[in-house]
Structure 1
């Protein structure tokens, strides 16, 4: 309603302004035409400078016929460029006005004054300006017209506003009533949550379309709710069934977990047994090495003692027969001294070997820290593996300072090196080609030892490289390989020595194990 009122007000105002502007322009135009005509009529009289003849004044009196002209002046131009008053006209009942000499140039385009409009126009005779005509027109008629127009437009605006209000109320009632019913229907539906309600038909096409759309929406919502209820029922049924299934599966899972725990326990026992077997096999190899290494010096000692016993028997027989010569006795003494030296050296060698093997055996079964000469420890380990290494063309190179004495756990180092060397013999050099094993020892920091073990063998296959330290990973499955050697090495390094081990290997290019663990340097 406010929009309608503003629209009517603006349109009425614009119409009123247009009419006033038009009439004002009409007055100006009429005044201009009268000025032109009158200037032309009095041009000859002004040019001849005949104010006393009364011709110009008579012509000005003809302005009585125009109700709008109230005053008129004629001025003529002097030869020195100044102007003089010529004659004037004043409408009956109108007072005279002062002359406009010196102001006429500014009135050529017209000027509004209180109650009127004044205008000046040049008087031209035979192409020469001879003076000026000044005229003043009353705007009383224009004011009367404006007053009447304002009143008329005000009445028209009020009438149109009343008509618009009446029509708006009728239209509002015709439109808002069905809309109100539709809104009430929706509120009722939302409050009762009963989507079976429907809106009735309407005589207004747009409202009828809205009602149909509302009914369709309610129908869709009702269908969705029905489907949702059905789905919830199925969901509850499914949940009940699922809970029963989960309960059954939980029982089965607990039983399977129990079986798995028992299986894992058996597997751990089996793993510990295999690790122990590996240790016993290593110990067996060491015992075989002890037997082989000790057998040689003892055999030489037995041979020398046997020869000495035979010579002693011969000397005794000759002594008993009193045929013993001084030269024979002297030769016996020399041979006896030589044989005793042989027996002493070999028995001493056997004692040293047994002592070394004893230390290696103690280290293999001991987890205690002791002060060791690292190079001597490695040599003792290699000595225990000599019988196995002698059967191969491979070479073991040790790079270690002779005077490197540390306090560490010799047992894990012993088992680590034995497992790495045996692993290289079995896997890296299986084609019996000559290989080189290098053991390099250096101090990484003041308290950390670095052991680098390398071989020139076939390397580790890509398929097992990332799993090399996992248990039961081997390329000799079914050929006697347990797959626990490298797993044992990893555990000995990380748990036995509190260190770390990293592998660098490319298939066909050998291996490099870098072992770092803490020690105490002396």
Structure 2
């Protein structure tokens, strides 16, 4: 931190704090003292005036009863001996009407006359101090405590004001003197505290500038600063030891660097060889992984071939049987025709049987052709990565038809919810392989131990030219320890039972790499699974274009 950024110093801060504390203390104490003195002066003045008012009212009772005004005037003139009395009014009460009338008055020489207060006497039963005067009124009663009149007394408060002024002046003088004394003491105390700090600061600045860590600070007379000085000396001693050790270490480091350069060069060459070997090993690993994934696809296709072959065998066998029967019947008809024993009924029967056999042959051959065509398209899609336009519902039906040899013996059901006119342009092969793997996973893993499994496949075209494919089943779900790693290679619950652990890894790669999409999994153990797959497609408005392409 530079000097320009420093706003306060210990000296100024200490001085300001001490003076602030002294000022606040003196102001509070002086204010309390003045308040107490003024209150005392006020109470003394009030007590003196009340005593005079009581004395005058006691003496005025006889004069009011007798009506002796001259005696009352003489008595009031004796008040000249009391310098604070300015005006005295004695009011007599009319017994018949209850009204007050001025009986007599006293006025100190040199002071103006005060108008009658007969209507305001009740306001002065409590002393009122205002404008350097104090006013008070007292009742005049006879021996029977009957009110016969009032006494109004107006006294001077100059002595009170003088005492208040003297008190304020005295307190201000004392406060000023104490402020000066506090300031001088603060300066002295500041010098005692800040001088050792400045010496220590200058010592540290000089030590850091010259890097002379062998210097030691002198111990001040103040205990706390002496502890600080000792701590600084200990720190300097440790720094000196550290610097010496660092110099020794640097010397060793310089010697070591000379020998390390050759060692680093040797290890660098060894590391390059190891990196090259690691890269080759990693490339081989990727090749093996791609080969395993390809083998998995071919194995799936081989299983499909076996199933389709078994499925095609039945309609072809029925067609062979029907054609053989037709040939036998044709031989019989030919014999009867040559022997001229052919009857019309026999001919009719032959025609009927021929028609039935031909229908059987056509239906079975058509069924076999559908199976072969569906398998052909599925096989082409699985081995091809090119895009084509197709009806999505038709693609799903072809996949289910190719899987029928496996599915027909199982009690599980598959529901497809898709717009039959939905036509898209994308890669059919990855979709084919994805659905086959998901369905086979549900059959082998999800529906294990279940009698009636249910699969729901939903497809819809999103406004952003993306296809959303949702696959659900009501199977056993995926265990918690498998769910987070389900898309990793070689993760399976059928280890040692024919499961390779590459099915879901293949699905993930097909979605993210072949289709440039995303896949999300939701599953709870015992509540089935849900896969949400979203990938971009090029949609077409109708199926006419698809039919033209075929």
User: Above 0.5 in TM-score?
Assistant: yes
* Secondary structure in 1 matching 2:449: coil
Shift of 1:521: 3.4
Instruction: State the SS of the aligned residue for 1:501.
Output: strand
Distance 1:190 1:277 in 2: 75
Q: 1:521 corresponds to which residue? A: 540
Aligned partners of 2:318, 2:302: CA distance in 1, in Å? 25
Q: Deviations over 1:168-197 (max 9, x none)?
A: xxxxxxxxxxxxxxx99x98x999978779
Report the CA distance between 1:382 and its aligned residue: 0.4
Secondary structure at 1:517's aligned position in 2?
A: strand
Aligned to 2:369: 351
- Tell me the TM-score normalised to structure 1 length: 0.56
- What SS class does the counterpart of residue 433 from structure 2 fall into? helix
Unaligned runs of 5+ in 2: 1-79, 81-201, 542-550
Q: Structure 1 residue 376 and structure 2 residue 394: aligned?
A: yes
- Determine if contact 1:429/1:458 at 8 Å carries over to the other structure: yes
For residue 340 of structure 1, the aligned residue among 335, 349, 358 is 358
- Shift in alpha-carbon separation, 1:252–1:323, aligned structure 2, 3 A: same
Q: Is the 8 A contact 1:381 1:418 kept in 2?
A: yes
CA contact (8 A) 1:446 1:521 kept: no
Q: Distance in 2 between matches of 1:314 and 1:336?
A: 13
3-state SS, counterpart of residue 503 of structure 1: strand
CA distance in 2, matches of 1:198, 1:421: 86
Question: SS of 1:502's equivalent?
Answer: strand
Q: Quote the residue 1:264 is aligned against.
A: 282
Q: 1:339 to 1:236 in 2, by over 3 A?
A: same
Distance in 2 of aligned mates of 1:318 and 1:256: 90
Note if contact 2:478-2:524 (Cα within 8 Å) is conserved in structure 1.
Answer: yes
Q: Does 1:313 align with 2:340?
A: no
Change over 3 Å in CA distance of 1:226–1:310 after alignment to 2: same
8 Å CA contact 1:447–1:521 kept in 2: the answer is: no
Q: 1:466 to 1:245 in 2, by over 3 A?
A: farther
Map 1:6-405 to 2 at 5 A: 222-236=240-254, 247=265, 249-405=267-423
Distance in 2 separating the partners of 1:415 and 1:222: 75
Shift of 1:282: 2.0
The structural deviation recorded for 1:245 is 5.9
CA displacement at 1:485 relative to structure 2 = 1.5
Partner of 2:440: 422
Task: Decide which of 461, 476, 479 is 1:458's aligned counterpart.
Answer: 476
Change over 3 Å in CA distance of 1:262–1:322 after alignment to 2: same
The yes-or-no answer on 1:503 pairing with 2:521 is yes
Residues 132-180 of structure 1 deviation map (CA, whole Å, 9 limit, x = unaligned): xxxxxxxxxxxxxxxxxxxxxxxxxxxxxxxxxxxxxxxxxxxxxxxxx
> How has the CA–CA distance of structure 1 residues 197 and 415 changed in structure 2, closer, same or farther, with 3 Å as cutoff?
closer
Normalising by structure 2, report the TM-score. 0.54
State the alpha-carbon separation in 1 of the partners of residues 389 and 235 from structure 2.
92
Deviation at 1:481, TM superposition (A): 2.3
Q: 1:416 to 1:190 in 2, by over 3 A?
A: closer
Which deviates more, 341-350 or 216-225? 216-225
The answer to whether the Cα contact below 8 Å between 1:368 and 1:409 also exists between their aligned partners in 2 is: yes
Q: What aligned pairs does 1:401-416 form with structure 2 within 5 A after superposition?
A: 401-416=419-434
Cα shift at 1:218: 7.7
Matches of 2:462 and 2:362, distance apart in 1: 44
2 CA distance for matches of 1:472 and 1:336? 57
Q: CA 1:306/1:246 → structure 2, altered by over 3 Å: closer, same or farther?
A: same
Secondary structure class of the residue paired with 2:320? helix
The structure with more radius of gyration: 1
How far residue 244 of structure 1 moved from its aligned partner, in angstroms, is 6.1
Distance 2:494 2:522 in 1: 21
Q: How big is the alpha-carbon RMSD for the aligned residues of Structure 1 and Structure 2?
A: 3.9
| Secondary structure, aligned partner of 1:226 | helix
C-alpha distance in 1 between matches for 2:512 and 2:444: 24
Q: CA deviation at 1:250?
A: 3.9
Structure 1 unaligned segments of length 5 or more: list them.
1-80, 82-182
Contact 1:395-1:436 within 8 A present in 2 as well: yes
Partner of 2:36: none
Identify if the C-alpha distance between structure 1 residues 368 and 241 changes in structure 2 by more than 3 Å, giving closer, same or farther.
Answer: same
CA contact (8 A) 1:497 1:517 kept: yes
1:304-337 per-residue CA deviation (whole Å, 9 max, x = no partner) reads 1111111222233334444433322221222122
Contact 2:511 / 2:519 at 8 angstroms: preserved in 1? yes
Mapped contact 1:285–1:385 kept (Cα < 8 A): no
| 1:240–1:390 CA distance, 2 compared to 1 (3 A) | farther
SS where residue 477 of structure 2 aligns?
Answer: coil
For 2:489, the equivalent position in structure 1 comes to: 471
Q: Is the 8 A contact 1:392 1:432 kept in 2?
A: no
Is 1:433 paired with 2:451? yes
Q: Secondary structure at the match of 1:379?
A: helix
Q: How many residues are treated as equivalent by the alignment?
A: 339
SS of residue paired to 2:419: coil
**8 Å CA contact retained: 2:371, 2:402:** no
SS class of match (1:308)? helix
